[in-house]
A and B are shown apart, each in its own frame.
Chain A
Amino acid sequence: MTDRPHIEVKDLCVTARNAQGETFPIVSGIDFALKRGEVLALIGESGSGKTTIALTLLGHARPGATIAGGSIRVGDAELTRLDRTALAQLRGNRIAYIAQSAAAAFNPSRTIMDQVVEPALIHDLMPRDKAEAKAVELFRALALPFPDTIGARYPHQLSGGQLQRLMAAMALITDPELIILDEPTTALDVTTQIEVLRAFKAVVLERGATAIYVSHDLAVVAQMADQIVVLNQGRIREAGASAQILHSPADDYTRTLMAAARPAMRPTPARAAVPAAPLLEIRGLTAGYGKIDKAGRPRMPVLRDINLTIERGATLGVIGESGSGKSTIARVIAGLLPPASGQVLLDGEPLPPGLAGRSRDQFRRVQLVFQNADTALNPAHSVQQILERPLAFYHGLKGNAAHLRVMELMDLIRLPATLIDRNIGGLSGGQKQRVNLARALAADPQLILCDEVTSALDTVVGAAILDLMAELRRELGIATMFISHDISTVKAICDDILVLYAGTMVETGPRAAFQTAPFHPYTDLLIGSVPEMRAGWLEESHAGRGPPPIGAAGDHPDLCRFLPRCPARVDGLCNITPPPRHPLAKGNRILCHLGAESLCPS
């Protein structure tokens, strides 16, 4: 009995039905087992079936899918033989689920406490007051702010990272023997991810629960798992102990995944002699929403005093967490949001602030590539229709000339010409993103603004898009503004980097300056929060450990925005005087009181 694994999945097969009514397997031949207290990671790209498998451990298949064969044993329960009522008794009781996006998985109309104690109440495990007391205890253990009162709030009043931890509390309220974590940190910023991972590790895993951790990120998995199962297209490619998979992967696919997770440095072409005027220049830009006061500050400022230049053919990386205003920069340049004050100059000439004043040629020269190709491309149109539209609009190309140019573009984005009649819905995520890029290229622009173009893609597909962009840059010499939340990608492909925090530029410089410390404390936190692909990183990392205590902040509007989170803040200086912008020896400029010597050498 003691030798018997706690969880055992044998020859599992899940099928789905397509529009024609044919049944086909989405995962098949899945075998794995784990002992009590072990953590098993299911890793793979989207469509690999990792979430499907994780859900079968709750006896659940999403609408349209069916658990068709095999056996799933959790403890003494064989899930494939249980009816709905029996399954409902296990769920949220002995087996708990932590969903990918806590922001969507909490009911927006009910209080957090209501939802957190619900599993304990519906399974009649304890009275409500006891459950609430236990919930508060869990909130405290998960390092949530205001543990005594946070339960009275509604989901929209809390941040993504807090909700993810609250979801862990909801899972733990019944002391489950198995916890399923479905990409619990994927939707979070890296700086938040590290805090949530620490909380999970301390509270979820150290209570001795068995866990299944679903992720696409090998480096995250390296911190959490004892065993790793690598999946591709519904089948197991490789399975084994974490150390073995991470250090000596046997399968080619695993190696591809690992390579894609570490972005290779792409060489940047040597810069030609810099012409007199940069291609794009932004001077003293402030933008936001709401009424603009006399000093040129909008009521809800998003960007403050942004100054930047992009040379012809150069790539500028803009990095920051969600809400930092990085997409707003692209929207201001494209004319979607007129700035409150400041200027945008293209080729030395000021661009009209809004869409209304711009000429067709000014539109043509700056093209915006949106993050999500699924929503940016009209699903009712074919590839050809999508690419011909800008050709007709900007260049008046029609008929055969347009067709020839579409063929050229297809060649440029490395898609087979046979796809041009395909509807957008019939393309894969990576192909869609290529078409999205080609649509911008069709205008023959001087500058493309790429807003998180690889964020919605799997790492392998995203790496291919980055390669394509590097190639296009060599061939066409188009300048790029590359907006991303991923500092490793930005470091790998950009000439210059701009770090945004809460709408202010905290650090700027050439990429060489971003390879070694010292950095601005926020840049340091960003770089230090990117998980490394080795066990024990999470315990060793200093990132996100919390700032030292400090006196009350003054009310100067230009005080350092990073002050509340800064681990290097100095009492009597940072909370009183606005920080100066000053250069560091290696070529970057930071907005900080501290000099190179006092910034932590990480």
Chain B
Amino acid sequence: MAGAATFSGMKAALILIGKRFASSLLTLLLVSMTIFVIAQLLPGDAAQEALGQSATAEQVAALRHEMGLDRPAPVRYASWLSGMVSGDPGQSLVANMPVAEVISSRLPNSLLLAALTALIAVPAALAIGIGSAMNRGGRIDRALNITTLSMVAVPEFLVATIAVLLFSVELRWLPSIALVSDEMSWGEYLRGVAMPILTLSVVVIAQMARMTRAAVIDQMDRPYVEMAVLKGVAPVQVVLKHIMPNAIAPIVNAMALSLSYLLGGAVIVETIFNYPGLASLMVNAVTSRDMPLLQACAMIFCAAYLILMLIADVTAILANPRLRAQ
């Protein structure tokens, strides 16, 4: 009977996750429409940009026709979307090469930077948040609170600038520009990206640690926690075995929000350290009116965001027996 219950429970969970996945796909479709419409609303187009101020109206119109910009919007949307789905988001109008190629030179850099930052930030945030919650009201908690609060409050360009001043100018430990190339060894690469990682970590660790603390403290006054203490469970085990299964859903949600920032929101850090990532590519695409590139970048960021949210929701569903069993 228990086996049957677990089986039907897992089936129910799979259905729920399937629904959640379908709704993510639908959201992505709606997002693609929004991106397309907004890109249309931007003043000027690539033809205008390519020919410059002095071009006559006829020249611009001719180039537009050549680039396919004079077709009706729904037709352009449909061809763009089918291109995106089949992995060909079009031709970059400015770089004059396939968008896929432009992006493939930048995306791995962005993903690597985000992954390395997450690798450091998530355990650090969990440790700080849980440690802080366990010492609630105590000296350690207050110190960590002030630290994380000031980390959230300081803008990242300031963090980056201070880091450059300290580690590059004064101590001369790290390069101030994150140059990456294919020939670099891992050690060289890590040295190069140490400061971007540091800067990004400062921001997301603080956010995630504060959310973790709040989620753990929210559970600490529940009767089941007192019951665990009165069963003789050690304090660390109380948090890990009893509180975390109940706090994990809000924590993962907050983490997904913070981590999604590591891709799209890294533009300032990428710019300061001259790191060849996707966010700065997108900003360049805006200034040069390179719509196919801009749209592709926006879709990647949205998809990454939706994937993170999907992971968070699936975790919440799996962690909660009430959702699993329905």
Known pairs A60-B230, A90-B232; A149 contacts B2 (CB<8 A): yes
> Quick one: closest B residue to A150, CB to CB?
B2
Residues B231 and A109 in contact, CB atoms below 8 Å apart:
no
Asked if B234 is at the interface of the complex by the 8 Å CB criterion, the answer is: yes
Is A104 touching B321 in the complex (CB atoms < 8 A)?
no
How many residues of chain B are within 8 Å of chain A by beta carbon?
27
Say yes or no: A91 contacts B230, CB within 8 Å. Answer: yes
- The answer to whether A92 and B230 have CB atoms under 8 Å apart is yes
**Contacting pair B223 A157 (CB below 8 A):** no
Docked complex Cα distance between A49 and B161 (Å):
59
Please report the C-alpha to C-alpha distance between residue A422 and residue B230 in the assembled complex, in whole angstroms: 38
A28 is an interface residue with CB less than 8 A from chain B: no
Q: Is the CB of B231 within 8 A of A119?
A: yes
CA distance A90 to B229 in the complex (A): 11
Given contacts A55-B230, A110-B241, 7 further A-B contacts (CB under 8 A): A63-B221, A108-B321, A109-B245, A118-B231, A122-B231, A153-B2, A170-B231
B158 within 8 A of A: no
CA of A146 to CA of B222, assembled, Å: 29
- A108: contacting residue among B224, B231, B234, CB under 8 A: B224
* 0/1 string, A49-92, CB within 8 A of B gives 1: 00000010010101100000000000000000000000111111
Provide the B299-326 mask, 1 if CB < 8 A to any CB of A, else 0. 0000000000000000000011110010
For A63, what are the chain B residues with a Cβ–Cβ distance below 8 Å?
221
Check B227 for interface membership: any CB of A closer than 8 A: yes
- CB neighbours (8 Å) of A58 from chain B are 230
**A to B CB contacts below 8 Å, 27 in the list:** A60-B229, A62-B226, A89-B232, A91-B230, A91-B231, A91-B232, A92-B232, A97-B227, A99-B226, A99-B230, A100-B223, A104-B222, A104-B224, A105-B223, A105-B226, A108-B246, A109-B319, A109-B320, A110-B242, A122-B232, A122-B234, A149-B1, A151-B2, A153-B2, A154-B321, A154-B322, A170-B231
B219 to chain A, nearest CB (A): 10
- On chain B, the residues within 8 Å of A156 by CB distance are 321-322, 325
| C-alpha gap A550/B322 in the complex (Å) | 34
Residues of A within 8 Å of B245, CB to CB, are 107, 109-110
Residue of A nearest to B233 (CB): A122
Q: Which of chain B's residues have a CB closer than 8 A to the CB of A153? A: 2, 5
- Of residues 126 through 144 on chain B, the ones whose CB sits less than 8 Å from some CB of chain A are none
B237: CB under 8 A from chain A?
A: yes
A153 to B1, CA, bound (A): 10
Q: List B contacts of A106 (CB < 8 A).
A: 224, 227
Query: Is A573 located at the chain interface by the 8 A CB criterion?
Result: no
Q: Distance (Å) between the CB of B99 and the closest chain A CB?
A: 45
Contact with A along B231-268 (1 / 0, CB 8 A): 11110010001100110000000000000000000000
With A58-B230, A107-B228, A122-B231 already in contact, the answer to whether A152 and B5 are too (CB < 8 A) is yes
**Chain B residue at smallest Cβ distance from A156:** B322
A93 on the B face (CB < 8 A): yes
> Which 8 residue pairs spanning A and B have beta carbons closest together?
A92-B231, A152-B2, A109-B245, A91-B232, A92-B232, A154-B321, A104-B223, A149-B2
Q: Once A and B bind, how many residue pairs between them come within 8 Å at the CB atom?
A: 84
The smallest beta-carbon distance between B229 and chain A, in angstroms, is 7
Write the B254-289 contact mask toward A (1 if CB under 8 angstroms, else 0).
000000000000000000000000000000000000
Chain B CB within 10 Å, residue with most, of A92, A156, A170: A92
What B residues does A459 contact at CB under 8 A? none
Complex alpha-carbon distance, A146 and B3, angstroms: 13
CB pair B230–A152 under 8 Å, yes or no, is no
Residue in contact with A93 in the complex, picked from B222, B228, B232, CB distance below 8 Å: B232
B34: chain A residues at CB < 8 Å are none
- A-side contacts of B6, CB under 8 Å: 152
The listed residue (B230, B321, B325) touching A97 by CB distance below 8 A is B230
What residues of B have a CB within 8 angstroms of the CB of A109 in the complex?
245-246, 319-321
Instruction: Tell whether A328 is near chain B: CB-to-CB under 8 Å.
Output: no
Question: Which residues 72-115 in B have Cβ within 8 Å of A in the complex?
Answer: none
* List of B residues within 8 angstroms of A454 by Cβ: none
- CB of A123 within 8 Å of the partner chain: yes
- Shortest distance in angstroms between A576's beta carbon and chain B's nearest beta carbon? 29
Q: Inside 8 A of A55's CB, which chain B residues have their CB?
A: 230
By a CB distance below 8 angstroms, the chain B residues around A88 are 232-234
- B2: chain A residues at CB < 8 Å are 149, 151-153
Residues of B within 8 A of A118 (CB): 231, 233
A156 → B minimal CB distance (Å) = 5
How far is it, in angstroms, between the C-alpha of A55 and the C-alpha of B230 when the chains are bound? 9
A123→B233 CA distance, assembly (Å): 9
Q: Smallest CB–CB gap between A481 and chain B, Å?
A: 33
- A107 x B242 contact (CB < 8 A): yes
Cβ–Cβ contact A105 & B227, under 8 A: yes
**A436 part of interface (Cβ distance < 8 Å):** no
Cα-based distance from A152 to B9 in the complex (angstroms): 12
Shortest distance from the beta carbon of A120 to any chain B beta carbon, whole Å: 10
Q: Does A101 contact B (CB under 8 A)?
A: yes
Assuming A92-B232, A109-B320, A122-B232, is B227 touching A99 (CB within 8 A)?
Answer: yes
Cross-chain contact B246 with A122 (CB below 8 angstroms): no
CA A62 to CA B226, docked complex, whole Å: 9
A149 to B245, CA, bound (A): 22
Once the chains bind, are B232 and A107 in contact (CB under 8 Å)? Answer: no
A58 and B319 CA atoms in complex are apart in Å by: 32
A135-161 contact mask (Cβ, 8 Å, vs B): 1 or 0: 000000000001001011110110000
Inter-subunit contact A154/B224 (CB<8 Å): no
Tell me which of B1, B2, B237, B246 has the highest count of chain A C-beta atoms within 10 A of its own C-beta: B2
**Bound Cα distance from A153 to B237, whole angstroms:** 22
Q: Complex: how many Å from CA A89 to CA B230?
A: 10
Closest A residue by C-beta to B230: A97
Say which residue of B1, B229, B246, B319 sits within 8 Å of A107 (CB atoms): B246
Distance of B226 from chain A, by nearest CB (Å):
8
Rounded to whole angstroms, the CA-CA distance of A89 and B234 in the bound complex is 9
Alpha-carbon distance between A170 and B231 when the two chains are bound, in angstroms: 9
Assembly CA distance A122 to B233 (angstroms): 7
Complex Cα distance A543/B320, Å? 38
- Residues B227 and A123 in contact, CB atoms below 8 Å apart: no
Q: How far is the CB of B243 from the nearest CB of chain A, in Å?
A: 9
Residue of B nearest to A119 (CB): B231
For B230, the chain A residues whose CB sits under 8 A away are 55, 58, 60, 91-92, 97, 99
Q: Give bound CA distance, A110 to B6, whole Å.
A: 13
User: Residue on A with the closest CB to B231?
Assistant: A92
- Cα of A452 to Cα of B325 in the assembled complex, Å: 32
Find chain B residues with CB under 8 A from A104 CB. 222-224
Q: How far is the CA of A92 from the CA of B6 in the complex (A)?
A: 29
A105 to B226 alpha-carbon distance, docked (Å): 8
A85's closest neighbor in chain B, by CB?
Answer: B234
Across-interface contacts of A100 in B (CB, < 8 A) = 223
User: What B residues does A99 contact at CB under 8 A?
Assistant: 223, 226-227, 230
B319 partner residues in chain A, CB cutoff 8 A: 109
| A345 CB → nearest B CB, Å | 40
State the Cβ distance, B137 to closest chain A Cβ, in Å. 9
Which residues of A sit under 8 angstroms from B321, Cβ to Cβ? 108-109, 154, 156
Minimal beta-carbon separation of B203 from chain A (angstroms): 31
- B224 CB contacts on chain A under 8 angstroms: 104-108
Cα distance A320–B325 in the bound complex, in angstroms: 29
Report A-chain residues with C-beta under 8 Å of the C-beta of B241.
110
